[in-house]
Amino acid sequence: MNTILRPAVTLLAALTLITGVAYPLAVTAVAKVAFPAQAGGSLVLDGSGQVQGSALIAQAFDGDRWFQPRPSAGAFATVASSASNLAPTNPALAKRVDADAARLAGQGDGPVPLALLTTSASGLDPDLPPEAALWQVKRIAAARGLDPARLSDLIQSQVHAPLIGPPTVNVLALNQGLEQLQSAP
């Protein structure tokens, strides 16, 4: 029995140290050297160096003066990161989407974009399709007293077109640009 148990325990301990300690430490060290910003959470700083958020995680923006991200099933809490898990036929999902559509109705031109009514898989998607951001221009321009054309130009300047997938715009970056636009003459 001892001839079977000792090698098994030794192998378990060795593999635990290699795969559970050494490998994660090595990957973390390489990441911190090769990609320091990403390894640190892709933090977004304002002009004074204060952390405003992460480029990878959505956050709530209150009021008509801001671009709004997609809804979050977990109230933008990273611990509760998840989808709502409600099926398309679930009455609770239909009720929430209808309520959001009614709340947003009239804030932009045309129907409310689907991206502003549905949550992402994680509930923390920081990006919107450019069309969903453009839909919000009417509301923000009225709340801030800005020319809608300037807001549209801001959105177009923030569009990121990845190699694969549709173009997106980061809501936090948009709102930072909005603050700079507001303070510019």
- pLDDT value of residue 38: 83
- pLDDT value of residue 84: 65
| Tens digits of pLDDT across the chain (185 residues) | 778 899 999 999 999 999 999 999 999 999 999 998 888 888 888 778 888 888 788 888 888 899 999 888 777 777 766 666 778 888 988 898 899 899 888 888 889 998 898 888 777 888 999 999 999 999 999 999 999 999 999 999 999 999 999 999 999 999 999 888 877 66
How far the first Cα of the chain sits from its last, in Å, is 82
- pLDDT value of residue 57: 83
Structure tokens at 15: 């593999």
**Residue 112 has what DSSP assignment?**
P
- pLDDT value of residue 81: 66
- pLDDT value of residue 170: 94
pTM for this structure? 0.75
